[in-house]
């Protein structure tokens, strides 16, 4: 029996993880609290911890987990910017779920865009009060517009296919273009200048942090729509707010927010929101915010659970080499293992 401390548990997590984990011999200890320095001790007696995007997996937390005997950190997400992978090296292995459902995230990005440009959310609220006026609900066609996609991994490429289905012209920027994909790649500056809509599908790194800055927004078309279903810190939220107030940004569709860690995934409806910036963004009539729910489909939850369970079993089985392991030596997971044909350490 492999014991796993499962942090930041939500009701929708348990069914799929129990379905895949229990027959495989995994015993989950579900905790509602997030992982941090104060809660790391809850993993005492566990071989692995399972964490999500807003858990804190810093060097200090890793040291405490290591002292508790934890051998594996299993991310149930693709992003891992919340994990100090360098500090984990030589102590605790780190694995992730690189692709749970690119369709879930890409479809949510398009749903946000359609809701925004066709004013679906406003019409829904009106008709519930028997207000059937069309005043103020004029949108615009996506057909013929230019979509700029930043990041052409699996999610980005699925999103591109969706946009092409709407008859949009698609241009893209990626530091590592997908060869033979038929995607029209341009420089980031050109993408910012030519796009009617910009959608972010890239990971958060030091290089991409605040890539949508005041300077970047200044280069964009007046009335541009910005979509972010990746990581909040890709956008400088203060610069975005100023761009909206200046009428430079026509609309923003956000499923993520830089300071979401203590807000998203929780019911704050009975509390005063202490984040003034988020409050001001949400108050804008041309901003739609969802609380990091782009991944949340039945298919994605099952894929996350199945992959995470397989990651844990492979890594803790002895000499098993997990293709989803992260190693700071690689920069990109799997590169060094492919060459060495062995575990990271």
Report field, pTM of the whole predicted structure over 0.85? yes
pLDDT in tens, 88-124: 998 999 999 988 889 999 999 999 999 999 999 999 9
Helix (H, G, I), strand (E, B) or coil at 270: coil
Determine contact, residues 254/261, Cβ cutoff 8 Å. Answer: no
Fold of the domain spanning 2-100+298-340: Rossmann fold (3.40.50)
The one catalytic residue among 108, 231, 325, 337? 231
Reported confidence tier of residue 262, pLDDT bands at 50, 70, 90 = confident
Question: Is the pLDDT score of 342 beyond 70?
Answer: no
Q: Which of 150, 198, 158 is nearest to 177 (CA)?
A: 150
Annotated catalytic, 47?
no
d(CA 136, CA 274): 31
pLDDT in tens, 188-242: 999 999 999 999 999 999 999 999 999 999 999 999 999 999 999 999 999 999 9
Supply the pLDDT for residue 8. 96
H or E element in which residue 95 lies: strand 93-95
Structure tokens at 303: 């894929």
Structure tokens at 272: 């005063």
The one catalytic residue among 258, 292, 306, 325? 292
d(CA 142, CA 167): 7
d(CA 204, CA 206): 7
Annotated catalytic, 343?
no
Question: Is the pLDDT score of 67 beyond 70?
Answer: yes
Determine contact, residues 154/148, Cβ cutoff 8 Å. Answer: no
Question: Is the pLDDT score of 334 beyond 60?
Answer: no
Task: Given CATH 6.10.140.120, say whether it is the number of domain 102-289.
Answer: no
Q: Domain limits of the chain? A: 2-100+298-340, 102-289
Task: Quote the mean pLDDT of the chain.
Answer: 93
Instruction: Report the percentage of the chain scoring pLDDT > 90.
Output: 86
CA angle 76, 77, 78 (to 5 degrees): 140
H or E element in which residue 4 lies: strand 2-6
Reported confidence tier of residue 339, pLDDT bands at 50, 70, 90 = low
Determine contact, residues 303/100, Cβ cutoff 8 Å. Answer: yes
Helix (H, G, I), strand (E, B) or coil at 337: helix
**Are both 2-100+298-340 and 102-289 of the same fold?**
yes
Residue with tokens 């699996």: 154
Annotated catalytic, 260?
yes
Give me Rg for the CA atoms of the chain. 21
The one catalytic residue among 47, 258, 260, 325? 260
Reported confidence tier of residue 132, pLDDT bands at 50, 70, 90 = very high
Find the mean pLDDT for residues 292-312.
Answer: 96
């Amino acid at each position: 029996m492999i014991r796993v401390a499962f942090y930041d548990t939500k009701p929708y997590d348990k069914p799929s993880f129990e379905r895949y984990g229990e027959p495989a011999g995994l015993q989950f200890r579900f905790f509602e609290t997030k992982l941090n320095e104060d809660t790391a001790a809850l993993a005492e007696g566990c071989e692995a911890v399972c964490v999500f995007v807003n858990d804190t997996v810093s060097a200090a937390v890793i040291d405490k987990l290591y002292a508790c005997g934890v051998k594996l950190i299993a991310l149930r997400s693709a992003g891992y910017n919340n994990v100090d992978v360098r500090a984990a090296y030589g102590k605790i292995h780190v694995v992730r779920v690189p692709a749970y459902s690119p369709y879930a995230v890409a479809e949510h990005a398009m749903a946000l865009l359609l809701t925004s440009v066709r004013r679906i959310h406003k019409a829904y609220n009106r008709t519930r009060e028997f207000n059937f006026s069309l005043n103020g609900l004029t949108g615009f066609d996506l057909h013929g517009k230019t979509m700029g996609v930043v990041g052409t991994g699996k999610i980005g490429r699925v999103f591109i296919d969706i946009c092409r289905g709407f008859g949009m012209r698609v241009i893209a920027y990626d530091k590592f273009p997908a060869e033979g994909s038929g995607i029209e790649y341009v420089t980031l500056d050109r993408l910012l200048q030519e796009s009617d809509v910009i959608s972010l599908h890239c990971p958060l790194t030091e290089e991409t942090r605040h890539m949508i800055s005041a300077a970047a927004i200044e280069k964009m078309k007046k009335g541009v729509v910005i979509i972010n279903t990746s990581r909040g810190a890709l956008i400088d939220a203060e610069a975005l707010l100023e761009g909206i107030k200046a009428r430079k940004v026509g609309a923003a569709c956000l499923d993520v927010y830089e300071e979401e860690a203590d807000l998203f995934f929780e019911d704050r409806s009975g509390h005063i929101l202490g984040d003034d910036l988020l409050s001001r963004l949400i108050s804008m009539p041309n901003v739609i915010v969802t609380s990091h729910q782009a991944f949340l489909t039945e298919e994605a939850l099952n894929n996350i659970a199945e992959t995470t369970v397989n990651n844990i079993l492979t890594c803790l089985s002895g000499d098993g080499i997990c293709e989803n392991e992260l190693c700071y030596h690689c920069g990109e997971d799997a590169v060094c293992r492919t060459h060495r044909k062995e575990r990271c350490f």
